[in-house]
């Protein structure tokens, strides 16, 4: 690649906006997503540094693309030379990562989810999700109808589980568990890690029929399918019995309280007296506002309202849900940005609350 004479370098001060204009800007986020979708950082990294070269490669209007690149340079995403060539910054190099592509590509699940953000005002007024009003159906039904969206969202979940899954395998006392049931286990990433680390353990994965094929493939690739049963079903229906531990990894935050309680009760019914339910979730704390973790959790909490009408919960809120389902908190640990809550089925579970039965068609 030819040497580039730098015309401007933007100091983003840790990439944190400080003005109202920065905070309210909508154009720059969309410009970044377009650049990711067109793979502009990758092309610049390959040596295509001029607007006409890039426009030719991505089949774009040269003048229009030049306007996009100029804005990205002004915002510090790219660097423009005195000769009209473009180079990458740390930010645009980050845009080439798989995680950035999964979330920012306009053809992927991330954009589909964020398209409902325009309904935030209505969600604040009503406390209801904006996504169904934007697209005419729930997130789950929408993704179920599109293999592309489902695959894109699944890839994001796999990446997330890959970050905290190994620590979960190390931190919990799995050596005393002979059979684990992963409820809503997706494509089997977590269960594969558990069974690989513990050769004597057997597992059961429960998820919707559309997901179980991918789960069988991943578990087979991990070499553990012979020790695992993959069950097509809903966690709102009866779950397989006989497990010592029932795992709910980032399941409950996808549902409002009534549905979350129903899922926990299904786990209690299947686990029986003394059985354990592991809940892996972000837990909203009461720490000092403004800390990075609190800030990220606040954003996720608002997203859950917009997308599903659910929420990120505090430890006290999880405890109330668990108590209503007949569970008592046994232990709590921190795993990266998540918390591991171990609940134990009480000797005399409270059954006063009417069990909520929801079908797959209702949106799991």
CB within 8 Å of 363: residues ≥ 6 apart: 138, 140, 141
Closest CA to 156 of 117, 188, 114, 110: 110
User: CA dihedral defined by 24, 29, 30, 36, rounded to 10 degrees?
Assistant: 180
Task: For Cα atoms 332, 333, 338, give the angle at the middle one, nearest 5 degrees.
Answer: 110
CB 280 within 8 A of CB 340: yes
Closest CA to 103 of 158, 33, 42: 33
The residue whose two tokens read 């969206």 is: 149
* CA end-to-end span of the chain: 50
Instruction: Give the containing element (helix H, strand E) for 341.
Output: strand 338-345
Instruction: Give the containing element (helix H, strand E) for 334.
Output: strand 327-335
Give the distance, in angstroms, between the CA of residue 364 and the centroid of all CA atoms in the same chain.
16
How many Å apart are CA 180 and CA 228, to the nearest integer?
9
Residues forming the active site? 253
SS3 235: coil
Closest CA to 311 of 339, 283, 285, 278: 283
Give the distance, in angstroms, between the CA of residue 260 and the centroid of all CA atoms in the same chain.
17
């Amino acid at each position: 690649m030819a040497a580039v004479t730098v015309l401007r370098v933007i100091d983003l001060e840790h990439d944190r906006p400080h003005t109202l204009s920065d905070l309210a800007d909508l154009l720059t986020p969309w410009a970044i997503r377009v650049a990711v979708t067109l793979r502009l950082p990758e092309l610049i990294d390959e040596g295509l540094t001029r607007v006409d070269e890039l426009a030719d490669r991505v089949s774009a209007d040269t003048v229009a693309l030049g306007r996009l690149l100029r804005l990205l340079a002004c915002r510090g995403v790219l660097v423009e030379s005195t000769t009209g060539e473009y180079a990458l910054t740390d930010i645009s190099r980050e845009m080439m990562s798989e995680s950035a592509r999964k979330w920012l590509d306009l053809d992927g699940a991330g954009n589909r989810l964020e398209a409902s953000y325009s309904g935030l005002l209505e969600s604040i007024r009503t406390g209801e999700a904006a996504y169904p009003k934007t697209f005419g159906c729930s997130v789950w039904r929408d993704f179920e109808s599109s293999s592309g969206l489902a695959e894109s969202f699944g890839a994001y979940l796999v990446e997330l589980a890959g970050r905290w899954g190994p620590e979960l395998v190390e931190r919990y006392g799995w050596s005393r568990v002979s059979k684990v049931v992963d409820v809503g286990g997706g494509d089997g990433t977590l269960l594969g890690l558990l069974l690989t680390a513990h050769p004597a353990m057997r597992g059961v994965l429960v998820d919707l029929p559309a997901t179980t094929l991918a789960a069988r493939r991943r578990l087979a690739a991990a070499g553990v399918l012979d020790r695992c049963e993959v069950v097509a079903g809903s966690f709102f229906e009866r779950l397989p019995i006989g497990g010592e531990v029932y795992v709910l990894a980032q399941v409950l935050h996808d549902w409002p309280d009534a549905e979350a309680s129903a899922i926990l009760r299904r786990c209690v019914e299947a686990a029986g007296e003394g059985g354990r339910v592991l809940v892996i979730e972000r837990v909203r704390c009461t720490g000092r506002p403004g800390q990075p973790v609190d800030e990220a959790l606040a954003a996720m909490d608002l997203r859950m309202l917009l997308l599903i009408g659910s929420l990120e919960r505090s430890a006290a809120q999880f405890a109330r849900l668990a108590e209503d389902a007949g569970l008592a908190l046994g232990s709590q640990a921190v795993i990266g940005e998540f918390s591991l809550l171990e609940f134990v089925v009480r000797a005399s579970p409270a059954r006063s609350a009417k069990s909520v039965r929801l079908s797959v068609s209702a949106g799991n």
